[in-house]
Amino acid sequence: MASKISILQIETFVSVVRCGGIGKAAEQLHLTQPAVTTRIRNLEYAMSADLFDRGAKGLTLTKRGELLLSYAERFLHLSELVERDVVDPSGAERRLRLGVSETIAQSWLPQFIERLNQEFPKLSVEINVDISTSLRQSLLDRDVDLAVLLGPVSEYSIDNVELPEFELSWFAATALDKDEAIKLNRPIASYARNTRPYRELRSSLFEKVGPDVLIYPSSSLSACFRLVEAGLCVAALPKFLAKEYVDRGTIYEFDPGWLPSALRFTASYLADPKSHLIETAARIAGDVAVGYST
């Protein structure tokens, strides 16, 4: 007599298909590879059918596997609707893998986490702070569930919630003469090298100042502000984040006649599989970001 098919087996099967293999699925599910393999083998035994062809190029679905996938995706979608419409969010124990850029971590991340805790009191949030290019790849690799990054992510599989822009302005140390700062002949502190703001700033500086301009890229906004405070650099940084430094009189805003473009962020997530939790988190991110910018 064949054993019963379990929900965990179905979820594991779909994860293996979406992740493209046992190893990646094991990482996503926080299981060992043997545990994932055992679930798939037990599922195949319960169905009396091979679900994957196991070849040199990896796993490919059999016809029975393709048929099961179509039913499994409908089943998981129904499960998601039950969670959205029936389950009390205050009692649901869930995990959200969140990726955020440094700018967000330095601004409205605490308010965002507070709102998430209000909506989902038992939610566990794992936070990864990284540059946007890395966060984008982590999202596509399913290593994070929601990424708040310089966007949008132009992939058919990704949904993007547009967030308010962060305006940039030029800042220099109070001890630095304004006429000297406007010349931009000091080293320029900037966002990390492999980012859009760095590339755009470098291009504009080469055009407006010259090819000999020195740029100090950094993945830490705090480090950029410290370099500006010390008079070692000037920098184009988010006005919101500069306010506390300006208020205590260590730096000031100046205008060399041009500004880098504002930073555009999105809350981005994989559209498939649909997740009420992730969609709600993205909406909350939008609400918090709007509140922070007004």
The pLDDT tens digits of the residues spanning 231-245 come to 999 999 999 999 999
Residue 2 above 80 pLDDT? no
Each as own residue / partner, the long-range contacts of residues 215-222 (CB below 8 Å, 24 or more positions apart, any chain) are: 215/187, 215/188, 215/190, 216/187, 216/188, 216/189, 216/190, 217/190, 217/191, 217/192, 217/193, 218/189, 218/190, 218/191, 218/192, 219/102, 219/131, 219/191, 219/192, 220/102, 221/102, 221/103, 221/106, 222/106
Share of the chain above pLDDT 70, in %: 94
The pLDDT, as a whole number, for residue 239 is 93
Lowest mean pLDDT: which of 45-49, 90-94, 106-110?
A: 90-94
| pLDDT mean over 120-145 | 91
More confident residue, 81 or 179: 179
The pLDDT, as a whole number, for residue 70 is 85
pTM reported for the whole predicted model:
0.73
| pLDDT mean over 59-71 | 87
More confident residue, 47 or 100: 100
The pLDDT tens digits of the residues spanning 13-45 come to 888 888 888 888 888 787 888 888 888 888 888
Q: Are strands 58-61 and 52-55 parallel, antiparallel or unpaired?
A: antiparallel
Residue 9 above 90 pLDDT? no
The pLDDT, as a whole number, for residue 20 is 84
Residue 1 above 50 pLDDT? no
Confidence of residue 274 (pLDDT cuts 50, 70, 90): confident
Maximal C-alpha separation, the chain: 86
Residue 215 above 80 pLDDT? yes
Whole-number Cα distances in Å, 258 to 9, 11, 52, 183, 209:
58, 53, 58, 12, 11
The pLDDT, as a whole number, for residue 116 is 93
Which tokens hold the place of 267?
A: 């809350």
Residue 60 above 50 pLDDT? yes
Please give the domain boundaries of the chain with CATH numbers for all domains. Answer: 7-85 (1.10.10.10), 92-165+264-293 (3.40.190.10), 168-254 (3.40.190.10)
Could you give the angle at the alpha carbon of 205 between the alpha carbons of 202 and 206, nearest 5°? 85
> Among 193, 156, 168, which residue's Cα sits nearest to residue 268?
156
